[in-house]
Amino acid sequence: MSKYKQMKKVHINCIFKIVTGFYAFTLLACQPIEKSIDLVSYDLSDSTWHFSQAGENSWHEAKVPGSVHMDLLRNELIEDPYYRDNETRLQWIGEKDWTYTSQFTVGSELMNKNNVTLDFKGLDTYAKVFLNDSLILKADNFFRDYQVECKALLNQGENHLRIEFESPVRINKERKNNAKIPLPDDYVYCRKPAYHFGWDWGPVYITSGIWKPVLLKGWNETRIINMQVVQKELTTQTAALELVYEIEAEEALEVELTTECAAAKIHETEKVKLKPGINFIKSQITIQKPQLWWPTGLGDQYLYNITGKLITDNRIIGEVKERTGLREIKLVQKPDSLGKSFHFEVNGVPVFAKGANYIPQDMFLNRPDTADYEYILQQAVDANMNMLRVWAGGFYENDLFYDLCDEKGLLVWQDFMFACAMYPGDKDFLDNVSQEAIENVKRIRNHPCIALWCGNNENYIGWQDWRWSDRYTKEDSATVWKDYEALYHQLLPEIIKQYDTDRFYWPSSPLFGWGYPVNSEGDVHYWGIWHAQEPFEEFAKPQNIGRFMSEYGFQGCPEFKTVKAFTRPEDWDINSDVMKNHQKHRVGYPVIDKYIKWYYQWPKDFKSYLYVSQVLQAKGIGYAIEIHRRSMPHCMGTLYWQINDCWPVTSWASIDSYGRWKALHYMAKKVYNDLLISPVLEDGLLKVYVVSDRLEALDARLSLNLTTLDGIELWKKEINTSIDANSSKVYLKIPEAFFEDIDKNDVVLTASLFSGQKLESRNHFYFVQPKDLELEKPSIQINISEMNEKGEYTLQLTTDKLAKNLFLWLENEDGFFSDNYFDLLPGSEKTITYKPGAGAGNPQGKIQMTSLVDTY
């Protein structure tokens, strides 16, 4: 079930059911999930699983893959972890050890195979695995896939699997106590998503469990383990690909290796000699007239399916299928007068990266389903983004995530999972992360969406700039830094070089950001706004505009409907314990308060505060995005912090955990549009910029309209011009003095960009802050059409006075407005659509409206 649907369920009451003794275990006669002549594979997740707190002998049914928290919830042993401040009462789960068991039967089909392996796709995290009471595996890395040869211990007939999970809280402490130089954060001792241990937007839920499937596989002879697609050459005429097959053979043999790519009419067979053990066989194919893969907005996302088969005596004994896209992607760092450029070039075109940072979609990683992945990634595309950064404190995303990014044309900035801390550097740790990196690089390297690998998040800037080194003696500090270099400057780049030859590796994000001389190169996390509590205007200072803005952000509350779902009416106060629990930044609300006071009238009540915080967030981040885009080509990328949430919380996200767009997401859609008109006061002039991501010039009409807030036109200007391709340029300049005599509190300047009759971009410019606007209560008319064939209603809105940041909502129904939180001006009609959500209908008579003037 979709995470969004699931969370909308009313929370359950806590009923403690203690069941002691063993359940009568159901035996599962395994049904194969994959079968070829040689390979047979069973998914043990389908068998019946039980779990108990270690030593308690109190067994309950479990769902695999899953987590102990979700199993406790399903068995009604705990309340909903996201409801009110339940988090404070559920910390014991992470402190306990847990045992999972399953029984399954195995038939002769598997027992007759030469090789039988148990494949644990994901164990969370400190796990001892026993097959028929024999210890077969000690795992300690959430991010790894553990494969164990187990034929000798397997019975034909009944088998018993037991997995004992030790508390990460305890083991991390033990590891830290045994460390020569104890590092400040316990979580660094554990290869598990760092955000499980709490973050400034997430609760502490330290999960244990089997988070990915457990497979039982048997085969006799030879198998293809992997195929790497290396793009050797790409021109408009041909694509030369080298396919590197990794093949494991039981014995020396000669086989036929067939490579098929139907879309390119390729069917090639060659004879290859295999030696016992692992073989790397390189096979070359050429695709004529290749169709390219492009980031969204610049072209199609053409994908090629390639299949490799091993054949002997007319039998297929091994098979591998991969999908890839053909594109050349470079990170260009060319020295220039200011330092060095930093931009992605795709198929020879410099691409301005527009997007956001992405965090895991839930605390419990089995909850988000295909629909949730499809949803969040489509929302990125719908907001005109072309890049997401998979941030280092989460996990290497599921295959589905990268498949969808390939299909939707979203570039991925992929971090390795090391965030906001110094990590150990002993041999065991490095061996473990080396294996983790190799497996994950091999898993996702054929995806065309991956733009870059990045070593870590903020570990370098923390050490260099935030004086983390002061926490150690001089000698220890040298060791900790040596460990840093061993991991991010040696191990990881070597792995990329060996396993993902073409991809660029960037050691840390940011390099060399905020705090470095004038951001002349590299990427920047600019947190002057929010963390240093500087006003939004600081975004515009040249020293704060980097070559690539990989992080910056501002918080906003989720809307009231979302808040209602995790609270009771007595919690509806920003200072209530529950609302404070759903704000994880140390001084979160006071920071929001401070900015509200700078820019807005103080909101009169709780609901108004939620709304104003969102409008404020959208204003600040929208303003920053416009600056970054106007600064092209000096700046060639902007990824705000963050697109999504992992639970309902006041955070930097632009879409809340229920999938509801906050005002920021609507703003992002507007300011990430491929054509952006952007008026600004600079150097005593009102300059009208147009930023274009289009690859062709455009004949356009620019218009400026100065009106009073009740719609009286004071002045207008129009020009016809040609907008340059892939550029940012000023097309109109008006001396600021020209506006000297107007009543600044009572005017709005509307800048519009048309191509023919089509409105491509519109922006409203105000000469004063929202708190100084002379707003009056507007009278708004809405005309709603019949439902169209897409299931949407068209809404036509008019007003007699400016309705600033008009928010449309329905009290008891969910639905999607194509635009929201917009400025509705008198004198023109605004048309938007509304699509009712599941169970909702015609919005006639149900639409409610809030605009800024209603909040004070």
Measured over all CA atoms, what is the biggest interatomic distance in the chain, rounded to whole angstroms? 92
Residue of 457, 638, 692, 726 that binds ligand BMA (CB under 6 A): 457
Sole window of 198-206, 362-370, 765-773, 815-823 interacting with ligand BMA (rule: CB under 6 A): 198-206
CB nearer ligand BMA, residue 41 or residue 457: 457
CA dist list (Å): 317 to 35, 222, 251, 305: 11, 7, 14, 20
CB of 258 within 8 A of CB of 242? no
Min separation Cβ 624 and ligand BMA, Å: 14
Min separation Cβ 391 and ligand BMA, Å: 6
Residue 475 main-chain phi, psi, to 5 deg: -70, -45
- # binding residues, ligand BMA (CB under 6 A): 10
Report if residue 406 touches ligand BMA, rule: CB under 6 A.
Answer: no
Min separation Cβ 551 and ligand BMA, Å: 5
Sole window of 196-204, 613-621, 754-762, 810-818 interacting with ligand BMA (rule: CB under 6 A): 196-204
Min separation Cβ 189 and ligand BMA, Å: 19
CB nearer ligand BMA, residue 420 or residue 732: 420
CB of 329 within 8 A of CB of 276? no
Please report, as residue ranges, which positions from 49 to 108 form the binding site for ligand BMA (by CB under 6 A): none
Residue of 38, 458, 483, 571 that binds ligand BMA (CB under 6 A): 458
Residue 322 main-chain phi, psi, to 5 deg: -135, 155
CB nearer ligand BMA, residue 200 or residue 792: 200
Who contacts 212 (Cβ-Cβ below 8 Å, separation ≥6)?
Answer: 65, 120, 121, 122, 145
CB nearer ligand BMA, residue 59 or residue 589: 589
Q: Residue 760: left if φ>0, alpha if ψ -120 to 50, beta else—which one? A: alpha
Report if residue 641 touches ligand BMA, rule: CB under 6 A.
Answer: yes
Choose among 421, 418, 410, 423: nearest CA to 437. Answer: 418
| The dihedral sign for the CA sequence 14, 17, 18, 20 | negative
Report if residue 460 touches ligand BMA, rule: CB under 6 A.
Answer: no
Min separation Cβ 651 and ligand BMA, Å: 8
CB nearer ligand BMA, residue 39 or residue 206: 206
Helix (H, G, I), strand (E, B) or coil at 15: coil
CB of 717 within 8 A of CB of 669? no
Residue 40 main-chain phi, psi, to 5 deg: -130, 135
CB nearer ligand BMA, residue 144 or residue 584: 584
CB nearer ligand BMA, residue 167 or residue 456: 456
Sole window of 193-201, 321-329, 402-410, 748-756 interacting with ligand BMA (rule: CB under 6 A): 193-201
Residue 237 main-chain phi, psi, to 5 deg: -90, -45
CB nearer ligand BMA, residue 60 or residue 584: 584
Min separation Cβ 173 and ligand BMA, Å: 23
CB nearer ligand BMA, residue 457 or residue 519: 457
Residue 122 main-chain phi, psi, to 5 deg: -170, 115
Residue 218 main-chain phi, psi, to 5 deg: -135, 140
- What does the block give as tokens for 547? 């070559």
CA dist list (Å): 734 to 679, 687, 767: 10, 7, 14
CB nearer ligand BMA, residue 104 or residue 552: 552
CA dist list (Å): 724 to 228, 292, 297, 700: 40, 24, 17, 10
CB nearer ligand BMA, residue 281 or residue 419: 419
Report if residue 551 touches ligand BMA, rule: CB under 6 A.
Answer: yes
Min separation Cβ 457 and ligand BMA, Å: 5
CB nearer ligand BMA, residue 189 or residue 652: 652
Min separation Cβ 531 and ligand BMA, Å: 6
Helix (H, G, I), strand (E, B) or coil at 71: helix
DSSP structural state of residue 293: B
Residue of 69, 175, 196, 525 that binds ligand BMA (CB under 6 A): 525
Min separation Cβ 602 and ligand BMA, Å: 25
Min separation Cβ 819 and ligand BMA, Å: 28
DSSP structural state of residue 264: G
Min separation Cβ 416 and ligand BMA, Å: 14
Please report, as residue ranges, which positions from 650 to 679 form the binding site for ligand BMA (by CB under 6 A): 652
Task: Map 634-703 to HEC letters.
Answer: CCCEEEECCCCCCCCCEECCCECCCCCECHHHHHHHHHCCCEEEEEEEECCEEEEEEEECCCCCEEEEEE
CB nearer ligand BMA, residue 199 or residue 809: 199
CB nearer ligand BMA, residue 116 or residue 639: 639
CB nearer ligand BMA, residue 341 or residue 457: 457
- What does the block give as tokens for 610? 């939620």
Min separation Cβ 433 and ligand BMA, Å: 19
Report if residue 201 touches ligand BMA, rule: CB under 6 A.
Answer: yes
Min separation Cβ 585 and ligand BMA, Å: 7
Sole window of 60-68, 195-203, 471-479, 848-856 interacting with ligand BMA (rule: CB under 6 A): 195-203
Rg of the chain taking only CA atoms, in angstroms: 29
- Answer whether the bond into residue 510 is a cis peptide, omega within 30°: yes
CB nearer ligand BMA, residue 146 or residue 647: 647
Q: Which residue is associated with the tokens 């002349």?
A: 520
Name 809's bridge partners. Answer: 848
DSSP structural state of residue 594: H
Min separation Cβ 284 and ligand BMA, Å: 42
Rounded to 5°, the CA angle 750-751-752 comes to 115
Report if residue 523 touches ligand BMA, rule: CB under 6 A.
Answer: no
Min separation Cβ 359 and ligand BMA, Å: 8
First-to-last C-alpha distance (Å) of the chain: 41
Sole window of 194-202, 282-290, 533-541, 712-720 interacting with ligand BMA (rule: CB under 6 A): 194-202
Min separation Cβ 524 and ligand BMA, Å: 11
Choose among 721, 624, 632: nearest CA to 680. Answer: 624
Report if residue 200 touches ligand BMA, rule: CB under 6 A.
Answer: yes
- What does the block give as tokens for 47? 């068998």
Helix (H, G, I), strand (E, B) or coil at 511: coil
Element (H, E) at 496: helix 492-499
Min separation Cβ 452 and ligand BMA, Å: 16
Helix, strand, coil percentages in the chain from 3-state DSSP, rounded to 5: 25, 35, 40
487 vs 228: CA distance, rounded Å: 24
CB nearer ligand BMA, residue 297 or residue 510: 510
Give the residues lining the site for ligand BMA (CB under 6 A). 199-201, 420, 457-458, 525, 551, 641, 652
